[in-house]
Structure 1
């Protein structure tokens, strides 16, 4: 199990199925790059009153997401780096081990990603002669309904409106703004600073922002530092800030990242840790 620091505002349950509780977010994984024991890569479950939406599906997320399959309404993938999408194949193969529902699960992906995912599936057939007719060889046809989204075009999922917003990263990448029941949250995905944050996060109740770096990115790869995450939250009128996408997971390093964000943002700051749920509707002192 990971050694988890204690922060205010963390509700330590990932199994809250109370759909009347308003907009909530459960962290399934939050590690930047590859997972480590107890810390899967990126995966975030948004709880709606009428279902759940998975944002990203990195390594280590599939088993947790499969346990919630009956609740899932859709999956959204921010970009095609492996720490954000690789467990989609595992999730799909896992779902073929149970009776498939009549309606395929919508999976929204960046432009061009559908063909990439189909090729990935073909590399791991059940039989030695290549893909056969079993759904496990065609999860992106028989299990998932793969739809390539366009930045700026909002998508309706049950009661929620989810808008992909183009960010700045080494690969094409979108963050997601989620609005439902008068509440809002935004997920930055991977990005450096960009004017698009106003569209993504302007006035949201909760900003789930990466805080991968200790100092601003000078490489052009496209990542945020904790201080930049705090400054963006202040500049765009965010109520609460949830930091994520950790390069390291020891308590001292996480404490230092919080301090860097706190120097730029006076609102409530929480820390993403696996299997913790954050209630967007709660109003508490920071």
Structure 2
């Protein structure tokens, strides 16, 4: 399928009640900033009675910190492993203890890779690696981050396990995680991050849970994404947008193409659709 340009849409033909938006590479610029005009867009969304939901591989606490006006709102965090609606957790899925032990051992024993593991728990995130370079990267996505001596001893259900590689997350997935991928879901979520989750858990499931809670249909849902961890949620909305900078597979799945994140694509498209 070839996605159409966002400019081909007639705003009068839309009835958007729910907007679900990935963060990195989609809403945020490459520099990690909110796009120009986002404050005005949020006011427009509120005025139109539309529910805006961040959907990210980031930690729930991080998303809540980034969106202070959404306290008591809705979030899809940890790539769908935890979903919050109206401030209440409506879904969580955790990785079993044996899997945690396997992944920790894989990272500890890896040779030729500059990688670190983040244990993403319900109550916080945890790491063993302590150098400043790795902690700086992990802290971008995990507002609640603690250093522990042994990740296998963390007493907090693991929503997912995230591996950061300073060079290529795809290389890590290909070289180290093949056996794990036979029984687990291994998702390359960005150029440097790869996530390990329970099979069948993804952002799309989180979006569908919110659609049910809100009594909103796919025809009333707009979805924005750019990378492989967004693939499953793209199909949850008839108004599905891949950013111009998106992975080719996401571009092929979406119905429309939005301007890139650095061209403030989410703001431009939603302002166009909701202003009429």
**Same fold? TM cut 0.5:** no
Using structure 1 for the length normalisation, give the TM-score.
0.35
Using structure 2 for the length normalisation, give the TM-score.
0.36
